[in-house]
């Protein structure tokens, strides 16, 4: 692949996000795309679709090579290429230009809280005799790891520049999608991207999610006063995306309200660039080496600074691991209680309400006592073993068996009575058990959770039913934030003739939200409920096969009338697209926005992680990042938050000892711990503490490690800006030690400084390569 005359990121149009400019989605045509990029992306997708052994395109560096002779030959060829390049006059000149650029980075400073640059890049060009740059007072003294010598040993200059161009382009693409959807994009990465454009980062250009603050003590969380007036806008589903019109005339003339409306072709182009990257040899090699360096560097940092970090923590008054804030960022409401809690609740309701009518079959009403009589069991004799809701060895790689665990004693009737919000008793038992879990969280004070409630898309009335359940049973808790999960089960609806096409399912999910945003007066209960909803999740078994290969030629949702389920990427794009438009409309009205936080990378193809890199604010699981060094490095550079659940994975897809959480944490990825389904995977009353305790024991995590994970959980959660300021510090938006309040997080300033300097160093490598390349192409 030849060197490009212009940096890749210049080809990627980015939206103008100034306050006075309209927020529009910049569209591209497939004619603008490099044919090689498109073909390589299609090859990656095709290999994933056919489940072929694609070792050439997707080399897994963490897996031992099957053929050592072939590996030796590859290394020999790479060495010959490097030696030949070293003798090249052009290469010598480019190396000299790059060395000059890197040496200038020593005096260049990284922006922190102030508008000036304050922290020097830890550059590999330091010599043992070179004076170390002075550090600001806010940065602690500790033993830093520096590398001297050649800047890219083991990789050619041309390959290095190509990798830098590709990685920066991917970061620009993610920044575009994050800003348009009001997702968070980290300040450090944003500052370096502006530097690559020879521009300066401005705080007023930053885009953040808007979350409704928790009501103050004494305020009514269900109050319907002060609801905004009707805008009298018109809405219409077009190409799978809800379009908003100022009035009926604008709808007739098809002149939509000025909002960013995503375009499938543009998304497919952006996706192709990242897909092509993960199959690009030089980029894979560079990312693999940098990830290995990050792991080794943290090992040295820990060896030299562990006692200094511990000393810092010992000096912090009052705060320790038990009383730092932790958020269970991935938990399903229907399994938020442990199995003993559910068993006790079932027995209690039977003892006190056995004659209550809880079910209706046809025209016949059934009492709780009759339900158990029909099941030939006495609740008094039930045990956690006979309840049979706990996952074990029999559920490993069997998602169907895992789903059946939601049925206590294997009876779907009990699931409907106790774990559903839309049943004959209007979800009363489900609300009561959730409120008991919430009470336990409130008593613990320092633990929060984000339970997922389901919206299926089979009917538009689902939203009103869920909102009424929330308000009628007063389920709000200051320690709970709510997420909406959308199962990917279009094929089931189609088989039962519940929807005519995929667009109808999307309309049932999103149109009621637009109506409640435009005219809250007509949808008061839904308006109140949405205040406490922080995001959306896309859930189901990722390993399910799809016969369709996603591309710009994929049929529009109105045309998707087959019984086959759309592929994962198709779901993600249309969910993201509607959330993006909805967020921009709600922002105009001064209402809270929603994050998109799908299950991703638990199983299935690594292409799922590419889709989420563009569309998601953060993801749950992320196990398959271990299979792709390029994606893993991108998730590190962009600090994409990942909620990991090792105990859940241990029962479903990956043995606990093989879970990559510890490896990701060491390298600096933004990981948190979550429970997923306490009913299936946990034994104790405090499931989240159980998750932390097992991880700490098995991987020998330090206090600083677990407190760093807890701080990450607050950062990636849907808690409001005010709550995050209170829980982890008033400057939490800043990266590095300036954004950390050790008195609240119990994370050592040494650790925060190390993380920040290391990330800045990695980003500076990419920016310096771009600038050196630009300088070398300027005619003398």
User: If we measure between CA atoms, which residue out of 675, 674, 735, 715 comes closest to residue 211?
Assistant: 715
Distance CA 626, CA 762 (A): 19
Q: How far are the Cα atoms of 10, 256, 516 from residue 470, in angstroms, in the given order? A: 48, 33, 16
Q: Position of tokens 């309209």?
A: 22
Residues forming a β-bridge with 480: 449
Distance of CA 583 to the CA centre of its chain: 17
Residues forming a β-bridge with 234: 245
Token representation of residue 302: 């820990």
- Known catalytic residue at 330: no
Distance CA 2, CA 770 (A): 15
How many CB atoms sit inside 10 A of residue 199's CB?
11
Distance CA 651, CA 621 (A): 13
Distance CA 587, CA 46 (A): 39
Cα atoms in the 13 Å half-sphere on the side-chain side of 119: 28
Q: Which helix (H) or strand (E) holds 537?
A: strand 533-539
User: If we measure between CA atoms, which residue out of 240, 209, 104 comes closest to residue 595?
Assistant: 209
Token representation of residue 287: 């990312």
User: If we measure between CA atoms, which residue out of 605, 707, 602 comes closest to residue 648?
Assistant: 602
Distance CA 437, CA 533 (A): 18
User: If we measure between CA atoms, which residue out of 16, 19, 202 comes closest to residue 588?
Assistant: 19
How many CB atoms sit inside 10 A of residue 15's CB?
17
Contact between 571 and 489 (Cβ < 8 Å): no
Q: Position of tokens 């400084």?
A: 753
Distance CA 694, CA 691 (A): 6
Q: Position of tokens 């389904």?
A: 677
Distance of CA 142 to the CA centre of its chain: 32
Token representation of residue 206: 């930053």
Q: What are the two backbone dihedrals, phi and then psi, of residue 237, each rounded to the nearest 5 degrees?
A: -80, 120
Q: Parallel, antiparallel, or unpaired for β 595-596 and 599-600?
A: unpaired
Helix axes 157-180, 749-777, angle to 10 degrees: 120
Token representation of residue 405: 């665990």
Contact between 495 and 487 (Cβ < 8 Å): no
Helix axes 281-314, 157-180, angle to 10 degrees: 70
Residues forming a β-bridge with 235: 244
Token representation of residue 198: 């020879």
How many CB atoms sit inside 10 A of residue 654's CB?
21
Say which of 273, 621, 682, 756 is annotated catalytic.
621
Instruction: Kindly calculate the radius of gyration of the chain based on its CA atoms and give it in whole angstroms.
Output: 27
**What's the sign of the alpha-carbon dihedral 523, 526, 528, 531?**
negative
Distance CA 277, CA 284 (A): 8
Distance CA 403, CA 661 (A): 25
Distance CA 346, CA 351 (A): 9
Distance CA 718, CA 715 (A): 8
- Which residue numbers are catalytic? 621
């Amino acid at each position: 692949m030849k060197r490009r005359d212009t940096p890749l990121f210049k080809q990627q149009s980015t939206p103008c996000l100034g306050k006075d400019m309209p927020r529009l989605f910049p569209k591209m045509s497939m004619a603008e795309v490099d044919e090689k990029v498109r073909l390589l992306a299609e090859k990656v997708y095709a290999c994933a679709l056919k489940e072929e052994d694609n070792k050439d395109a997707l080399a897994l560096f963490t897996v031992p090579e099957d053929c050592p002779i072939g590996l030796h030959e590859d290394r020999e060829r790479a060495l010959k290429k490097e030696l030949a390049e070293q003798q090249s006059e052009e290469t010598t000149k480019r190396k000299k230009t790059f060395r000059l650029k890197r040496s200038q980075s020593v005096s260049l400073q990284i922006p922190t809280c102030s508008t000036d640059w304050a922290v020097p890049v830890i550059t590999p060009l330091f010599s043992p005799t070179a004076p170390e740059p002075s550090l600001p007072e806010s940065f602690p003294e500790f033993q830093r790891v520096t590398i001297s010598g050649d800047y890219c040993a083991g990789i050619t200059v041309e390959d290095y520049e190509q990798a830098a161009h590709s990685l920066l382009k991917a970061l620009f693409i993610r920044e575009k999608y994050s800003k348009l959807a009001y997702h968070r994009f980290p300040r450090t990465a944003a500052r370096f991207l502006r530097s690559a454009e020879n521009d300066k980062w401005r705080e007023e250009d930053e885009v953040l999610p808007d979350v409704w603050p928790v009501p103050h003590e004494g305020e009514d969380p269900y109050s319907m006063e002060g609801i905004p007036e009707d805008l009298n806008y018109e809405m219409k589903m077009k190409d799978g995306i809800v379009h908003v019109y100022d009035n009926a005339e604008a709808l007739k003339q098809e002149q939509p309200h000025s909002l960013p409306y995503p375009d499938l072709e543009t998304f497919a182009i952006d996706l192709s660039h990242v897909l092509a990257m993960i199959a690009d040899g030089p980029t894979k090699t560079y990312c693999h080496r940098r990830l290995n360096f990050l792991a080794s560097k943290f090992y040295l940092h820990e060896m030299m600074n562990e006692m200094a970090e511990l000393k810092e923590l010992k000096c912090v008054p009052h705060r320790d691991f038990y009383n730092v804030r932790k958020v269970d960022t991935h938990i399903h409401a229907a399994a938020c209680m442990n199995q003993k809690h559910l068993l006790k609740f079932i027995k209690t309701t039977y003892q006190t309400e056995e004659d209550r009518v809880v079910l209706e079959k046809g025209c016949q009403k059934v009492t709780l006592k009759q339900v158990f009589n029909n099941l030939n069991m006495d609740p008094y004799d039930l045990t956690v073993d006979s309840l049979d809701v706990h996952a074990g060895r029999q559920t490993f790689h069997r998602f169907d068996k895992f789903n059946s665990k939601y049925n206590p004693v294997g009876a779907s009737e009990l699931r409907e009575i106790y774990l559903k919000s839309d049943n004959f008793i209007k979800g009363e038992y489900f609300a009561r058990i959730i409120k008991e879990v919430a009470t336990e969280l409130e008593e613990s004070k320092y633990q929060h959770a984000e339970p997922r409630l389901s919206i299926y898309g089979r009917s538009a009335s689902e939203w009103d039913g869920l909102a009424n359940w929330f308000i009628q049973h007063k389920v709000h808790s200051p320690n709970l934030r709510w997420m909406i999960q959308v199962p990917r089960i279009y094929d089931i609806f189609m088989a039962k003739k519940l929807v005519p096409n995929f667009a109808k399912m999307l309309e049932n999910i999103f149109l009621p939200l637009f109506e409640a945003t435009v005219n809250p007066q007509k949808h008061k209960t839904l308006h109140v409920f949405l205040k406490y909803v922080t995001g959306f999740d896309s859930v189901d078994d990722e390993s399910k096969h799809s016969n369709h290969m996603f591309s710009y030629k994929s049929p529009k949702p109105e045309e998707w009338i087959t019984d086959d389920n759309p592929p994962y990427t198709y779901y993600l794009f249309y969910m993201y697209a509607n959330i993006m438009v909805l967020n921009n409309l709600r922002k105009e009205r001064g209402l809270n926005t929603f994050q998109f936080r799908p299950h991703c990378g638990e199983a299935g193809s690594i292409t799922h992680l590419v889709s989420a890199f563009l569309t998601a604010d953060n993801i749950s699981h992320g196990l398959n990042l271990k299979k792709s060094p390029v994606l893993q490095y991108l998730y590190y550079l962009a600090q994409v938050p990942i909620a990991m659940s090792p105990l859940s994975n241990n029962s479903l897809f990956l043995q606990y000892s093989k879970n990559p959480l510890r490896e990701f944490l060491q390298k600096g990825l933004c990981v948190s711990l979550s429970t997923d389904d306490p009913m299936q995977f946990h034994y104790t009353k405090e499931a989240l503490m159980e998750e932390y305790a097992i991880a700490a024991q098995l991987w020998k995590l330090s206090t600083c490690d677990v407190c760093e994970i807890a701080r990450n959980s607050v950062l990636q959660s849907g808690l409001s800006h005010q709550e995050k300021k209170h829980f982890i510090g008033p400057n939490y938006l800043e990266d590095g030690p300036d954004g950390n309040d050790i008195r609240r997080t119990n994370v050592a300033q040494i650790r925060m400084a190390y993380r920040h300097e290391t990330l800045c160093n990695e980003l500076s490598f990419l920016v310096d390569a771009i600038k050196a390349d630009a300088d070398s192409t300027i005619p003398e």
